[in-house]
Amino acid sequence: MADKTYIVDLDAEYDYNKGTYREGLDDLGKAYIKVFGCSAITTPTSSGVSLTATLASDAKAGQVMTVLSTIKNTGASAASFVIDASGYDSWATLGSISERIVTLNAGESKDITVTLNVNKGVSGDKTFVLDAKNGAQATSKTVSVNFASSEAISGLGGNTMLWVIGLVNLILVIVIIIVAVRVSRR
């Protein structure tokens, strides 16, 4: 593909029944798609990148976790970097990366926000990797996150609702016994 605007013809079929579409559009629609970034990447002779990452929110199972990353072009000329995250698949899903492609002048830096949707029940130490790639060059930063066990957080063994129901029932039984004793004394 080349950097240019392409015209795409769109068609639609509908009224699907037993493996067959019974209706379709009479006229084709047109969409214009601008493709860019397909040109060859030229790497400056002295290029570099630094990448830092810090946790910007609490690390709790079942919640969104935010990581703030700063990318800096340490090279001698402007460069574009592709930002990606990996290694979180077993304990989270990617929510978003604020900017996937970052172009920086020499010495310039930019903050990138990465959000991960942490799975329920996650505990212990977890890691994932942030990558900044520029052509054949890549820089990675491993981010470590410690998730406290859900039992330690709740203080009630993780079954908070069951404990509350049990406590309410105990109070009701005590109230019934007190009322029964007072009624029997009259």
The answer to whether residue 28 scores a pLDDT higher than 80 is: no
Choose between 35 and 96: higher pLDDT. 96
Counting residues of the chain whose pLDDT is more than 90, the rounded percentage is 31
Is there a contact between 91 and 119 (Cβ–Cβ < 8 Å)?
Answer: yes
By C-alpha distance, which of 90, 103, 95, 92 is closest to 47?
A: 103
Alpha helices (runs of H) in 80-159, residue ranges in sequence order: 150-154
* Per-residue model confidence (pLDDT) at position 1: 53
**Taking the domains of the chain in order of start, what are their residue ranges?**
4-35, 49-151, 156-185
CATH fold label, 49-151? Immunoglobulin-like (2.60.40)
The pTM assigned to this predicted structure is 0.56
Name the residue type at position 117: N
